[in-house]
């Protein structure tokens, strides 16, 4: 049986076929679909954890109990999970454990471009890098096997282009596995200093054995071609290089840490020019140079952004591995008018939009977090001043407020922190605890849209539903916030502009921390009701442009209103696209002329 | 250049988040797979869902390496939106075909006066690609009774430019659309085919 699967779908399939029974993750692009797909397989327990550290620890538990485990996250998620990860590298496993970790070169939807291959070297654990969906599926099995054989967690490192590309995958039968029991081995799993000191030398010994494996494994294979150019590569770079210079010799690394020293030496000795083609950091290049082998890489290939066939071609050309193109212009010319900016926007009817519109009137400093609402940094709202990482909004706001207080500057603007419900539960809770405990005066807004919006709407402990679709206990945000010691908690409907503005005003004047919780669900969760669609009465619209200041994609400038004075400003009447409008009524509330109303009314 | 490479067909499908670009590229990829070919397909998720630019690369042939189409090598550019066709023209190989929905999706950044929609986009397109096939698929879809048929009409048009059997197309389209709309989609597919 063959199926067209994305890299992420293939990882899920590979886990299922390899007998993985427990999986945990926090959603994060480009890794999200791994768990969403794994959750559908029979006999697999898959869950959303509130954050990556928790997910990782759940996987450790499953492994200790003798059950194969997979934990998934995006690259920055491993920063959150780094604490258990580094020590799990010491304890090792009982049943196989694989961390599927997806990097995002090019930052399609991430706040940084870190190269997580270094985490493998940091913790001294084996690293596998698939270059397409078939390999993604197969390597899950190998990573688990290596994990068990060498008593180590394994990393399966994906990148956006592998995670989100589809390729043909041959399906296999799920492996019958007989899960072992809980392994009680205190010197292995209880990392008090005395026992950790026993484990560290074992980690060093293990990396030696893994080096041998790297030299032996068929995942690291030489494809002989012309001897003039030898290319060492891993992951998606292999596909680009193979596309552009198929005649070269290749050393393709599927297990890219530890590097296969003997294979590299053999390969290097038989080619005239040795190049490393790798995305992001010179991870392989520097290790090969450290072997005393002359190799070039980042001299020709960028250290930034995602690769593409043309970037690789350009690099090979610079390295004189490829001859210059025969034709100077080999593609259709892109016209100059082609660069229409189309930045991502909050959806029509998004409850965040109206909240930020109201918040802007308070003229505060707004420390933001990561989620759909981070898009409010863009025009026309331009509402937020920072975005660092998941959970950082509340603690940075606290820092800002304390600094202002200490410095006794003339800064009078109120300090806000905005954070989504999923992110608040991910790592905002401890930050809010800090504010309460340390007598801060931050105005925290929890934009509760009942889902993890940015990644496409995943459940979390506040939604009352599990990943596998079961109803469950639901966190009561108001009670949770109160239990942290916050006395002022207000719940508002962000579609109600006047009340929202009033509540913000009241909370700003309070001399203590407070939390405002918005309560409108994400529009993507709601069923579309065409009877709510609004329209603009062209007779009444004066083209003041007030409604356009919301930046709603459904409101577009329409018919031109001729200026009364000569040379006066040209105004245009507003129009509402009925296929986009969700009937949130916010533009209706803003229109002073009363020109906007429900289309059916 | 290797001969292998030449036998690979490259189709770049572009548009705006929410238009159905991904579904269309899924259908095309599956059609190629049912024809026994190697297929790779790649797109960008995430922020693109929120009204941003969406592009999906589909490549099929005896053996496909890169999931991305090298610049200047697309045999067909299928654009769901007028201005998006211009943005991606650089991927089209000289002599490649462009199928373009002339529908405009105006981003809020234009509505708020911070940018402008390309003037004379249709003309620019025709000047750069001599035989660009332009059609307002939204109007046609509404004529057929459902604006959501845009997708299938455009696929029908594209199918005329690719050597993949009609029966495979119809089978995959039938499987991928909601049951209740199967007949309507097949009609839309035929309508698209009749346009090229």
| A97: its two tokens | 């454990």
A237 to chain B: which residues are within 8 Å by CB? none
Residue B2 is predicted with a pLDDT of 40
Say what the pLDDT of residue B5 is. 45
Tens-digit pLDDT profile for residues B8-53: 999 999 999 888 999 999 999 999 999 999 999 998 655 656 678 8
Cα A591 to Cα A601: distance, rounded to the nearest angstrom: 16
pLDDT on residue B4: 44
Burial group, residue A355, by CB count within 10 angstroms (0-12, 13-18, 19+):
buried
Partner residue facing A334 (CB), from B90, B93, B127: B90
* A25-A454-A552 Cα angle (round to 5): 170
Between the alpha carbon of residue A160 and those of residues A31, A126, A218, A453, the distances in Å are: 8, 21, 25, 19
Q: Find chain B residues with C-beta within 8 A of A309's C-beta.
A: 66, 68-71
Q: Which H helix or E strand runs over A97?
A: strand A97-103
Q: Write the pLDDT tens digit of every residue in A118-166.
A: 999 999 999 999 999 999 999 999 999 999 999 999 999 999 999 999 9
All residues at 6 or more sequence positions from A306 whose CB lies less than 8 Å from its CB, including other chains? A105, A106, A108, A159, A160, A161, A279
Distance CA A518, CA A495 (A): 9
Determine the pLDDT at residue B45: 56
Q: What is the pLDDT of residue A28?
A: 96
* pLDDT at B6 (0 to 100): 56
Closest residue of chain B to A246, computed from CA coordinates:
B2
Task: Please list the ranges in chain A whose pLDDT falls under 50.
Answer: 327-328
Write out pLDDT tens, residues A206-222. 999 999 999 999 999 99
Place of tokens 């593409």: A308
Calculate the CA dihedral of residues B92, B96, B97, B98 and round it to 10 degrees.
20
pLDDT of residue B49: 62
Best of B38, B49, B76, B119 to substitute, by most chain A Cβ atoms within 10 angstroms, is: B49
Give the model's pLDDT for residue B113.
Answer: 84
Contact by Cβ (8 Å): A549, B112? yes
The string of pLDDT tens digits covering residues B48-80 is 566 788 999 999 999 999 999 999 999 999 999
Please give the mean pLDDT across all residues of chain A: 95
Identify from B12, B13, B34, B47 which residue to disrupt to test chain A contact, counting A C-beta atoms within 10 A and taking the largest count: B47
Closest-CA distance of chain B to residue A382, Å: 13
Alpha-carbon distance A205 to A171, whole Å? 36
Note which residues in 147-186 of chain B have CB less than 8 A from chain A: 147
Considering only CB atoms, which chain A residues are within 8 Å of B44?
108, 160, 164
pLDDT, one tens digit per residue, over B85-110 is 999 999 999 999 999 999 999 888 88
Give percent of chain A above pLDDT 70.
Answer: 99
Asked if B29's CB is within 8 angstroms of A332's CB, the reply is no
Closest approach of B53 to chain A, Cα-based (Å): 6
Tokens of A209: 């054995």
Of B41, B68, B112, nearest to A548 by CB-CB distance is B112
Q: Which helix (H) or strand (E) holds A586?
A: helix A586-590
| In contact, A7 and A158? CB cutoff 8 Å | yes
Residue count (chain B)? 196
Q: Is A532 helix (H, G, I), strand (E, B) or coil?
A: helix
Closest residue, chain B, to A556 (C-alpha): B111
- DSSP summary character for residue A526: S
8 Å CB contact of B94 and A331: yes
Contact criterion met (CB < 8 Å) for A331 and B109: no
Q: How far apart are CA B66 and CA B74, in angstroms?
A: 13
User: Out of A30, A247, A343, whose CB is closest to B45?
Assistant: A30
Query: Residues A91, A254, B74, CA angle at the centre, nearest 5°?
Result: 135
Q: What residues of chain A lie within 8 A of the CB of B39, using their CB?
A: 4, 166-168
What is the dihedral sign for C-alpha A22, A27, A28, A33?
A: positive
Burial of B108 (0-12, 13-18, 19+ CB in 10 A): buried
Distance CA B138, CA B118 (A): 20
What is the C-alpha to C-alpha distance for residues A175 and A177, in angstroms, rounded to an integer?
A: 6
| A109: chain B residues, CB-CB within 8 Å | 45-47
- State how far the Cα of A224 lies from the Cα of A331, in Å rounded to an integer: 32
Contact B112 A334 (CB under 8 A): no
Of B45, B51, B86, which is closest to A345 when you measure between CB atoms? B51
pTM given for the model: 0.95
Contacts of A551 in chain B (CB under 8 A): 108, 111-112
Rounded Cα gap, residues A552 and A576, in angstroms: 10
Asked whether the beta carbons of residue A331 and residue B16 sit closer than 8 angstroms, the reply is no
Q: What is the pLDDT of residues A507-542, one digit of tens each?
A: 999 999 999 999 999 999 989 899 999 999 999 999
Is ipTM over 0.95? no
Scan for tokens 């905005």, then name that residue. Answer: A418
Chain B 31-50, CB below 8 Å of chain A: which residues?
33, 38-50
Looking at residue A86, its pLDDT comes to: 98
Structure tokens at A341: 């900016």
- Residue labelled with tokens 């991305």: B68
**Closest-approach residue (CA) in chain B for A244:** B1
Angle (CA) A437-A443-A449 rounded to 5° is 110
Per DSSP, the three-state class of A379 is coil
């Amino acid at each position: 049986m063959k199926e067209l699967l994305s890299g992420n779908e293939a990882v899920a399939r590979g886990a299922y076929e390899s007998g993985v029974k427990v999986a945990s993750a926090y959603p994060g692009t480009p890794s999200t679909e791994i768990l969403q797909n794994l959750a559908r397989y029979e006999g697999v327990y898959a869950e959303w954890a509130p954050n990556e550290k928790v997910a990782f620890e759940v996987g450790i538990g499953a492994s200790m109990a003798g059950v194969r485990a997979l934990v998934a996250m995006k690259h920055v998620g491993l920063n959150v999970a780094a604490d258990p990860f580094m020590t799990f590298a010491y304890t090792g496993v009982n049943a196989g454990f694989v961390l599927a970790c997806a990097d995002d070169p090019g930052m399609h939807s991430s706040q940084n471009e870190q190269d997580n291959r270094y985490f493998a070297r940091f913790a001294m654990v084996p690293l596998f890098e698939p270059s397409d969906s078939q390999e993604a599926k197969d390597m899950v099995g190998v990573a688990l096997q290596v994990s068990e054989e060498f008593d180590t967690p394994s990393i399966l490192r994906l990148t956006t282009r592998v995670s989100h590309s589809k390729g043909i995958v041959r399906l296999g039968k799920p492996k019958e596995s007989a899960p072992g029991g809980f392994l009680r081995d205190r010197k292995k799993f209880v990392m008090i200093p005395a026992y950790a000191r026993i484990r560290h030398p074992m980690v060093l010994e293990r990396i030696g054995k893994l080096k041998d494996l790297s030299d032996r494994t068929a995942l690291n294979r030489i494809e002989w071609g012309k001897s003039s150019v030898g290319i060492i590569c891993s992951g998606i770079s292999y596909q680009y290089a193979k596309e552009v210079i198929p005649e070269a010799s290749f050393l393709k690394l599927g297990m890219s840490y530890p590097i296969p020293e003997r294979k590299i030496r053999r390969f290097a000795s038989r080619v005239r020019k040795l190049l490393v083609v790798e995305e992001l950091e010179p991870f392989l290049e520097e290790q090969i140079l450290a072997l005393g082998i002359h190799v070039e890489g980042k001299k020709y290939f960028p250290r930034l952004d995602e690769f593409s066939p043309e970037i690789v071609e350009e690099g090979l050309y610079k390295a004189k591995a490829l001859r210059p193109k025969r034709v100077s212009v080999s593609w259709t010319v892109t016209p100059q008018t082609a660069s229409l900016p189309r930045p991502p926007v909050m959806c029509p009817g998004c409850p965040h939009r109206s909240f930020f519109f109201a918040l802007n009137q308070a003229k505060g400093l707004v420390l933001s977090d990561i989620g759909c609402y981070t898009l409010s940094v863009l025009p026309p709202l331009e509402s937020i001043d920072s975005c660092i990482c998941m959970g950082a909004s509340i603690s940075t706001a606290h820092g800002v407020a304390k600094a202002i207080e200490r410095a006794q500057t003339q800064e009078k603007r109120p300090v806000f922190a905005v954070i989504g419900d999923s992110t608040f539960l991910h790592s905002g809770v401890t930050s809010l605890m800090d504010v309460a405990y340390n007598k801060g005066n931050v105005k925290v807004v929890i934009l509760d849209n009942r889902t993890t919006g940015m990644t496409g709407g995943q459940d979390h402990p506040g939604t009352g539903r599990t990943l596998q679709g079961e109803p469950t206990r639901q966190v009561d945000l108001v009670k949770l916030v109160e239990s942290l010691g916050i006395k002022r908690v207000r719940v508002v409907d962000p579609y109600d502009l006047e009340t929202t503005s009033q509540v913000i005003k009241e909370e700003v004047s309070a001399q203590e921390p407070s939390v405002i919780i918005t309560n409108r669900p994400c529009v993507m969760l709601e069923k579309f009701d065409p009877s709510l669609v609004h329209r603009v009465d062209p007779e009444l619209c004066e083209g003041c442009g007030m409604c356009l200041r919301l930046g709603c994609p459904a409101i577009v400038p329409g018919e031109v209103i001729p200026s009364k004075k000569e040379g006066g400003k040209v105004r245009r009447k507003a129009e509402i696209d009925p296929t986009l409008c969700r009937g949130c009524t916010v533009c209706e509330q803003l229109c002073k002329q009363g020109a906007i109303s429900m289309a059916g009314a | 250049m290797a001969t292998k490479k030449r036998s690979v067909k490259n189709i770049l499908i572009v548009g705006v988040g929410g238009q159905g670009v991904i579904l269309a590229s899924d259908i095309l990829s599956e059609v190629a797979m049912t024809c026994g070919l190697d297929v790779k397909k790649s797109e960008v998720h995430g922020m693109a869902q929120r009204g941003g630019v969406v592009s999906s690369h589909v490549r099929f042939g005896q053996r496909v390496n890169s999931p991305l189409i090298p610049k200047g090598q697309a045999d067909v550019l299928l654009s769901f939106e007028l201005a998006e066709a211009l943005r991606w023209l650089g991927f089209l190989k000289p002599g490649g075909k462009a199928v373009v929905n002339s529908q405009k999706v105006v981003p809020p950044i234009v509505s708020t006066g911070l940018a402008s929609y390309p003037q004379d986009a249709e003309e620019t397109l025709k000047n750069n690609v001599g035989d660009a096939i332009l059609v307002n698929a939204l109007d046609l879809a509404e004529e057929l009774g459902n604006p959501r048929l845009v997708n299938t009409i455009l696929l029908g048009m594209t199918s005329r430019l690719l050597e993949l059997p009609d029966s495979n197309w119809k089978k995959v389209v039938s499987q991928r659309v909601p049951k209740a709309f199967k007949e309507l989609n097949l009609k839309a597919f035929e309508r698209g085919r009749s346009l090229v």
